[in-house]
Amino acid sequence: MSGCGPARGAARAVEILVARGVGRVERGGRIAPWTSYQIGGPADVLVETESESDLEGVAEAARESGLDVLVLGRGSNVLVSDGGFRGIALRLGAGFRWSRRDGGALEAGAAAPLPALSGLALDEGLAGLEFAVSIPGSLGGAVRMNAGAHGRCMADVVEWAEVYSFDQAETVRFARDELAFDYRTARFPARSAVTAARLALEPGERGAIAERMREAREWRRRTQPLNSPNAGSVFKNPPGEFAARLVETVCGKGMSRGGARVSEVHANFIVAGAGARSSDVHALIRRIQRMVRRATGIDLQLELKLVGEFKEEDDDQTPV
């Protein structure tokens, strides 16, 4: 569909989604409650899907309206702009929150929370997923960004992932090698959603598995700001360096902009305090990047995903 403005596109998308009986559909719905930051503007269309049939409805709505598609997992690594997202934002609902053991592996829907899958692995006496017990994301989001902790990552355990393409309106299964996993990235088709994955694990002693999980939880409690809204690590670690060390070196913990500030617990976390806006977080991100670049020559790359349009501003006049 061409020549259709955002308002008409949204109206057309809602019409199609409602006619097809797609899960929850809301025009102009707030994305913020679907993110760990709890800030940001609305989407033109907000959708919660429960089945592949619902995804087919989204594919048709996107095609006929000309709107883009944003897939959110648990929203634990995204910052949505104050202006929101011009398109269809969707979250996989309870229909994708399933899990089961299959031999020495776990298979699960993409909406399954990683901590819950780690708990299932413990119950089944399967080792290899202990690192994920403290990652507050969904399986689909974790696979897409190759989430990791404690020297392990999803690339170590993913055997295959099923992916729904909104452009092709079909589900395709990709083997691990086809996903080209790298540091906090993987290769997926554009405009697609991970719907399920198989995690290859190995038999383990439950007591040892439980102890490794306890240590991972304790490490997270000790080193991360769990009581303040945040989206995890903001920057990727440069080769041979730690982003947190660089941030702390150039500006220290506690530097702030509006309601956003660098966490006093971990310098690679930016927390959203009372009255924080997405523009505050974004301005602080850019300020930190400029300061690190000036002091070290290192360009900090974002691990956090930016959604929507952000105004670039040199609010502290730090030279580039």
Tell me how crowded residue 170 is: count the other CB atoms within 10 A of its CB. 13
Q: Which residues pair with residue 163 across a beta bridge?
A: 172, 194
Where are the alpha helices (H) located in the chain, listed in sequence order?
A: 6-19, 52-65, 114-123, 139-145, 206-223, 243-250, 278-296
Helix, strand, or coil here: 27? strand
Residue of 137, 145, 3, 28 lying closest to 85 (CA atoms): 28
Helix, strand, or coil here: 281? helix
DSSP for 177-235 reads GGG--BTTB----SSEEEEEEEEE-EE--HHHHHHHHHHHHHHHHHHS-TTS---S-SB
CA–CA distance from 242 to each of 130, 168, 234, 249 (Å)? Answer: 23, 40, 12, 11
Q: Which residues pair with residue 149 across a beta bridge?
A: 152
| Catalytic annotation, residues | 184, 233, 303
